[in-house]
Structure 1
């Protein structure tokens, strides 16, 4: 309980929950849209087998996750250290052992994990029909199409979540993100090699 209270204090000091929530939506959207792009590319090529599709999607998911973790950690750690230094200068005191100092060290890690795990987990969820079909052939018909549909659903749900956060009408927010997914799909179709 003490650890939870201390963690809550660190979150409140830095307001990192707002940053983590923003990263959750942004990188979740990036992960879902990247998977949608890959799936549409495979669908249009009509040449890749299921193992290849899973391998490529998994590679992209890992890359998105690692990029999210490292980029968020580097930027958030620098930002928190700058804020801590500014606070130390204002208070004429070393705050490295204070709650502010702990927050400057711990919260970039939490934000980075959120930033990286979100696109990775969303990509894995989208890949579930492909993975199940690979493990149990014949259990799911048209796994590529179902995974693509799942990507659209997740993109819509992320829009709904964003709408709830912002106080806008949830359905309209979901439709806007779905529209982005549809435009992405259309562009992929238009760029299809002849």
Structure 2
């Protein structure tokens, strides 16, 4: 029943494209932010791993909350606008319609995607930090391993965008990787 209702609301409002775009854009932001933080810690004087984890987790939570709130506010406004235009065209109120329900619930769905994307991406990238903090020995150390995970995630976002856009997946993945490497280089120069 609930799934059928959600499908109906999604069919009416068609938010799939914007949710995909938000997922990739904010996931990419989360990955590049984590990479930047870890690179900053890496080029700094020796920093305690607990401080790195806390800082990265705080940034991940802030990115998630920012994504959640900004997407809800903007998508709710867009949905209200679209509903008002439809009501004007139909010269009647749609308060009890599927369109009105979609205008209420779809912003929450879009906001969840927008907020969870950078948060989950960051948490995946942070896994080596938690493993090392828990006592696991990593061959290259926690920060380089986490940075390698971030590079892999950024490459995969590029591959995904290449497939969505109909371009060669490897080229798109390498473009994303190049942005990450330039970012790392700039941070290294600052350090």
Provide TM-score, normalisation by structure 2.
Answer: 0.97
- CA distance in 2 between counterparts of 1:21 and 1:44 reads 34
* Residue aligning to 1:49: 48
Look up the SS of the partner of 1:93 in the other structure: coil
Superposition map of 1:166-185 within 5 A: 166-185=165-184
Shift of 1:12: 1.8
Q: Where does the alignment leave 5 or more consecutive residues of structure 2 unmatched? A: none
* Residue aligning to 1:130: 129
Shift of 1:106: 0.3
Look up the SS of the partner of 2:93 in the other structure: coil
* Residue aligning to 1:191: 190
1:118-137 per-residue CA deviation (whole Å, 9 max, x = no partner) reads 000000000000001111x2
Shift of 1:5: 2.3
* Residue aligning to 1:140: 138
* Residue aligning to 1:60: 59
* Residue aligning to 1:152: 151
Query: Mean alpha-carbon deviation: is it higher for 122-131 or for 46-55?
Result: 46-55
- CA distance in 2 between counterparts of 1:63 and 1:113 reads 14
* Residue aligning to 1:106: 105
- CA distance in 2 between counterparts of 1:189 and 1:79 reads 41
Look up the SS of the partner of 1:190 in the other structure: helix
Look up the SS of the partner of 1:119 in the other structure: helix
- CA distance in 2 between counterparts of 1:178 and 1:12 reads 35
- CA distance in 1 between counterparts of 2:152 and 2:94 reads 46
* Residue aligning to 1:73: 72
Look up the SS of the partner of 2:95 in the other structure: coil
